[in-house]
Amino acid sequence: MNGPRREALPEGIAGLADFEAHARARLSEPAWAYFSGGAADELSLRANRTAWDALRLHPRVLRELAGGHTRTHLLDRELPHPILLAPIAYQQLAHADGEIASAYAAAAQDAGLILSAQSSTPLETVAQAMAGGAGPLWFQLYIQPDRGFTRELVQRVEAAGYQALVLTVDAPVQGARDRERRAGFKLPAPISAVNLAGAIPPARAALGSGQSALFDGLLSTAASWRDVEWLHGITRLPLLLKGVQHADDARQAMDLGAAGLVVSNHGGRTLDTVAATAELLPYLAEALRARAGPRASLLVDGGIRRGTDVLKAIALGADAVLLGRPYVHALATAGALGVAHALRLLRDELEIAMALCGCKQLSEAGPHLLWQTRP
């Protein structure tokens, strides 16, 4: 396996937002629309960012901070820091090295990586690139209409050394992505979802009068809670559900044996006008706290751009965060080096935020750290 390309980092990259303009200049209009766009009017896309901005930190001073660290625990494993790369499909659209570059960067910065089921690189190759890193390697999964293919894919994931499955549950259909349609986005050859090659597409049933191509056609094979129970029964890997937004669904997921949840609205890409993830996070954290039994892992994505956002997420009850679009911008800008630099910037900012808030370790962060949560 060849390593990633060696590239130079542009001057003037001081924060994650600085990658965006460089990425915009390098990507085609359709690719930019695919990675950066959201559903419909993109209200939830924008809300994800503004919700983190609306939270205000309430620091303590003159605390004893020597020996502080960013270590955390996730699925009974100690991690150097709570930052993982979110599952993002077709990364070769952003850079020729695609997911390989992201994996090398994650390994270099001890960050976790969740590989998309729609990766443009074989899952086994990505696992090899992640070898030696201290961060976890998980696989994001959509249950395919062909359940036999899904079982075989899970077996491949286990054999390749992935440590958890992340089942996306909030996208039984694609959202109305107006920006993509305006840009005429189509996946260019030879980029494809290589790990899904060979999956049998759902049969197109003949529709009767008054029937819906969506409800009576495509959704006739959509995943349900029965499939969550089935999936839990065919794998030895911990199972997390990504995209749960309602407390009742969170409780049902736990009842079916899920090891954790990813609080997510799919980056605002599926259903528009849903709540921002920073708003959903404390609500779902409370639902899990009120439930008897082992403590579930809780992660969050959507709008994370600064180390202060990571600290706020931990204060609201998250164990870790997923970084999304910014690392694709970094990937498009400078490949593996860009992604590694983005991760380093975010971790450095987290340490700065912790120090300035008087937090020696992440376990000291709680609602008291946020000004707006105070009476």
pLDDT digits (tens, 9 = 90+) for 205-260: 677 877 776 676 666 678 899 999 999 999 999 999 999 999 999 999 999 999 99
Is residue 311 domain-resident?
A: yes
pLDDT of residue 305: 98
Residue 58 lies in a domain: yes
Q: Which residue, 254, 77, 245, 277, is CA-closest to 168?
A: 245
Mean pLDDT across 11-23: 98
For the whole model, what pTM was predicted? Answer: 0.96
CA distance 228 to 165: 11
**Among 77-91, 102-116, 219-233, 276-290, which stretch is predicted with the lowest mean pLDDT?**
219-233
pLDDT of amino acid 46: 98
Q: Which two tokens stand for residue 173?
A: 């259909």
Q: What are 163's two structure tokens?
A: 């440590």
- Per-residue pLDDT of 330-361, as tens digits, reads 999 999 999 999 999 999 999 999 999 999 99
What average pLDDT does this structure show over 134-159? 96
Domain encompassing residue 170: 18-187+221-373
Residue pair 316/370 in contact (Cβ under 8 Å)? The answer is: yes
Can you read off the two tokens belonging to residue 66?
Answer: 């020597």
11: in domain: no
Does some domain include residue 84?
yes
- Over residues 18-28, the pLDDT tens digits come to 999 999 999 99
pLDDT band at residue 4 under the 50/70/90 scheme: confident
Write down the pLDDT at residue 5: 82
pLDDT of residue 292: 80
Q: Tell whether 66 is covered by a domain.
A: yes
Provide Rg for the chain, Cα atoms: 20
Provide the pLDDT confidence category of residue 295 given band limits of 50, 70 and 90. Answer: confident
> Tens of pLDDT along 204-213?
667 787 777 6
What was the pLDDT predicted at 1? 63
Considering the candidates 266, 329, 341, 368, report the single residue annotated as catalytic. 266
Confirm whether 107 is domain-assigned. yes
The domain that holds 280 is classified in CATH as 3.20.20.70
- Helical spans, DSSP H, in the chain: 18-26, 29-36, 43-54, 98-108, 123-130, 147-160, 178-183, 225-234, 247-255, 277-289, 307-315, 325-357
Q: What is the pLDDT of residue 374?
A: 46
243/240 Cα distance (integer angstroms): 10
pLDDT tens readout for residues 160-203 = 999 999 999 998 888 999 999 999 999 999 999 999 998 877 66
Query: φ, ψ for residue 140 (rounded to 5)?
Result: -90, 135
Percent of the chain predicted with pLDDT > 70: 96
- DSSP string covering 233-301: HH-SS-EEEE---SHHHHHHHHHTT--EEEE--GGGTSSTTPPPHHHHHHHHHHHHHTS-SSPPEEEE-
Q: Is residue 1, in this structure, part of any structural domain at all?
A: no
To the query of whether residue 266 is one of the catalytic residues in this protein, the response is: yes
The total domain count for the chain is 1
Is 70 exceeded by the pLDDT of residue 279? Answer: yes
Alpha-carbon distances of 292 from 148, 235, 240, 245, 251, rounded to whole Å: 34, 24, 18, 20, 10
Report yes or no: 15 and 326 within 8 Å, Cβ to Cβ: no
CA gap 36, 31 in Å, rounded = 8
> Could you tell me if residue 13 is inside a domain?
no
Average pLDDT over residues 259-266: 98
- The pLDDT tens digits of the residues spanning 102-130 come to 999 999 999 999 999 999 999 999 999 99
